Every structure is written in structure tokens, then in C-alpha cells.
Amino acid sequence: MTIDDIMRSARAHNEWFKNSLPMIASENITSPTVRQLLASDLAHRYAEGTVGHRLYQGVKYIDEIEQQAIDLACKLFKAEHVNVQPISGVNANIAAFFALAKPRERLMALDTSHGGHISHGTKSVAGLCDLKIVKHPFDYEEMNIDADAMVSTIYEKEPKIILFGASLFLFPHPIAAARDAAREVGAYVVYDSAHVLGLIAGGQFQDPLREGVDVMTGSTHKTFPGPQGGIIFTTHALAEAVDAAVFPGTVSNHHLHHVAGLAVTLIEMLQFGRAYARQIIKNAQTLGAALYNEGCNVLCPDKGFTESHQIVIDVGRASSMAVALEEANIIANKNLLPWDDHSAPENPSGLRFGTQELTRLGMKETEMKVVAKLIQRVLDGEIPEKVKKDVVDFKNDYQEVEYCFSHELGAYQFPEW
């Protein structure tokens, strides 16, 4: 393979997504300004340590950028303390678990079959930290944690960490119901906001820091439309332990170009976050209703389908449907549902769709109804190539990133390197 081969593949990917409807719930696109920062000299540098206490020279401007990112995050989320150095949401979870629990202590979390993220389980971060897993009781009808049963389980199992947040995340989690029980058994309450951080920033979901969590981790590239990375919010009392778990605990050099991009995205969200988050949720609810009216088995119709960026449909054969949608340039993912065969996660029945990226490109309720019809045509068995032509034509009008300050580079321009 040559450099030309790699560049050709990268350009082909760029062109594909320019002409697609990206609806993976864990993705987003950054603004033109952020993209410029990601290609800056910051990408080449090291800054081990914390602001004002680095192990290397050459960091005076990096210190300025990181401090601004911290200050902006504290302002946007009304947080006591923020660490912007985790390089992913999973990395943020690792640091939080190390800071708050010892090996063999209990972590209460959602099972992956109920929407929990893989990092909450024994095969990933929780297992690496040697934590014993206690499962949140789950209400299939509500597609949410059973609050009353959760409180009983907290008193019975006495976990060290009670973890909220999910990968399949339709509705706010019952933080307040757990808070008093957590204090009584000596547990910390942690909220993994990876999927919903942008909705929280825009004041449209729930406010974990006000509801009493001790630590909130997150990803900076899902509903929060920044560069890929992680972030941790906590109290003054836990700041030292959390910071030490990040550096030197789990991060050597963090990604400095990402921190700069994060700082810009925080400014964007301070200006546009409320409108952006509100439109994401309106779009998800409209998409859910439109698919439901088309005959799809969209989960939770009695609850308005969702209060987040996600909707989920039960198609019974999600693997083949996800491939067919991809062939039509509709990019979504198969998803395990609570009633599926958990021994065969590669053959689930659910399809998950996120609206955050299409919203970032200016789509609103009217466009969601068009998107629903395109999805339904594929699910009804129409040849994907026929649908693809209409997807490409439709997407042509949505190429500029919105909810930011600059359209200078457009949404899909490939940099000249």
C-alpha cells in the first residue's frame, strides 16, 4: 500500500459521508475552526502535567489554551472542577473508577443488554479495575432504570460506585432517587454523560451536577460536537483524586490539538448550545413519530419515543437491515435490545438512530419526515441503490455546519496537505 492508496481511501470516505445521512448516535462533526486546530502544530507536542506544572518546556501557549478550556467548561456546566485531559470517554471512566473505588469493590451499572456501555462491564473498564458488577434493575416497558428496585438494591448490595448513563439512552436516569441511599451506604454517584453531554450543556436533558452526582464523565464528540476526547467534572473535594487518576494515573500526554478544539466548541455551545440541543431532541421525536406512522415498531410510543437524540426500532433482523441501509447511504447501527438473545449480540433486533449530526447540518422537523420515508423504503425491501440516489440528491442541500461561528471551510472540504 502506498501513500496515494491511503489518501485515495480517505478522500473516498470523505465523499461517501458527504453524500450520506450519518445517524450513528455516537458521532458528530466539528466546526471549520475546530478542524483547523486539529491540523495545527499542537498535534505534534507534549505537555505532561497540569497547567503551570509541566514536565516539558515550550508549553506557555498550551497552558493558556488548556486553562481557557477548563474555565469555559466550568462556566458552561456550572461545575466546581473540570479535567480536560482524558483522551476518550472510556479513559475518563477508567480515571473515575480508579479515583473512587478499590479492587473488588462493587460498581452498580446498567447491563449492556439494557443499554449500558461496554466500559461499564466486566469485559472492559470495570473489569480492568477489578470491580464487581451489580446490575441496575431495568424496566423493559419504560426502557429505563427501575428507580424503586434500584434503591432496594443499593441498600442490599452497598456498591461503592452507583453509575448512571448509557449507550442506548432514551430518557433521563433517576439520579435523585439514588442520592440519599448512596450517602447512607457510603457510595459515590457517577454519571457517564458521553452520549448526552451536548444535551446537558444546552439545558435540555437533565442536570446531573445539580442533581447531586459526585463525578460526571463524558465524551466530547457525540451530542457535544467537539473533537474526539473525554472530560471529567467533579467537586472540589474530589478534584485531587480525580486529577491524579488522570495524570499520571491513566494519561501520559493528552491530545493538545483536541483540547484547543474543545475550547472552541465550548464557546460555540455557550452561544448556540441551547438552540442546538433543543432541535436535536425535536428532530429525534419527529423522526420517531414519522417512522411509527410509517409502520415501524419504534420503542416507547407512549412516552413520545425519546427525550434524547436517539430513537430505537425493533426490526427483528437488525444486522441485515443495517447493511441494507448502509448500501443506501443511511449510516446507522444495529443494537442489542433487552429481550434479545444475549448470547448472540452480533444478531440483535434493534436499530439505533441519532439525530445530532443531521441537526448540526441544519436539518429540522420537515427534513426528519423525509429521512423517515427514506429509511422506511429500505426496511420495506426496496433496492438500496434506488434509495441511495434519492439520499444523495436530498443530502446535497445540507453541506454546511451550523450552530457555530464560521462556515468558511464548509462541512466536507478535504484539507490540502
CATH of 274-395, one of 3.40.640.10, 3.40.50.2300, 3.90.1150.10, 3.30.390.50: 3.90.1150.10
> According to the model, what pLDDT value does residue 417 have?
34
The whole-angstrom separation of Cα 132 and Cα 119 is 13
> According to the model, what pLDDT value does residue 404 have?
96
> According to the model, what pLDDT value does residue 20 have?
98
Question: Each residue of 136-146: b (16+ CB within 10 Å) or e?
Answer: bbbeeeebbbb
Helix axis angle, 236-244 to 89-100, nearest 10°: 110
Say if residues 351 and 332 touch (Cβ distance below 8 Å). Answer: yes
Query: Which residues lie below 8 Å from residue 141, measured CB to CB, with a gap of 6+?
Result: none
pLDDT tens string for the chain (417 positions)? 899 999 999 999 999 999 999 999 999 999 999 999 999 999 999 999 999 999 999 999 999 999 999 999 999 999 999 999 999 999 999 999 999 999 999 999 999 889 888 888 777 788 788 899 999 999 999 999 999 999 999 999 999 999 999 999 999 999 999 999 999 999 999 999 999 999 999 999 999 999 999 999 999 999 999 999 999 999 999 999 999 999 999 999 999 999 999 999 999 999 999 999 999 999 999 999 999 999 999 999 999 999 999 999 999 888 999 999 999 999 999 999 999 887 677 889 999 999 999 999 999 999 999 999 999 999 999 999 999 999 999 999 999 999 998 655 444 444 443
Say if residues 400 and 362 touch (Cβ distance below 8 Å). Answer: yes
> According to the model, what pLDDT value does residue 157 have?
97
CA separation (Å) from 161 to 178, 191, 232? 11, 10, 16
Q: How many CA atoms lie within 13 A of 324 on its CB side?
A: 20
Phi-psi region of 15 (alpha: psi -120 to 50; beta: other; left: phi over 0): alpha
pTM for the predicted model, two decimal places: 0.95
Can you give the length of the chain in residues?
A: 417
Say if residues 347 and 382 touch (Cβ distance below 8 Å). Answer: no
Asked whether the domain spanning 274-395 has the same topology as the one spanning 33-266, the reply is: no
> According to the model, what pLDDT value does residue 123 have?
78
> According to the model, what pLDDT value does residue 313 have?
98
Among residues 369, 207, 224, the alpha carbon closest in space to that of 282 is found at 369
Among residues 335, 356, 277, the alpha carbon closest in space to that of 21 is found at 356
CATH of 33-266, one of 2.40.160.150, 1.10.287.3610, 1.20.140.10, 3.40.640.10: 3.40.640.10
In the DSSP assignment, the letter for residue 298 is B
Rounded to a whole number, what is the largest CA-CA distance in the chain?
A: 62
Extents of the domains making up the chain: 33-266, 274-395
> According to the model, what pLDDT value does residue 416 have?
43
Cα–Cα–Cα angle for 23, 302, 314, nearest 5°?
Answer: 45
In the DSSP assignment, the letter for residue 312 is E
The whole-angstrom separation of Cα 216 and Cα 197 is 10
Cell numbers at 140, concatenated: 423493559
Cα–Cα–Cα angle for 209, 215, 221, nearest 5°?
Answer: 85
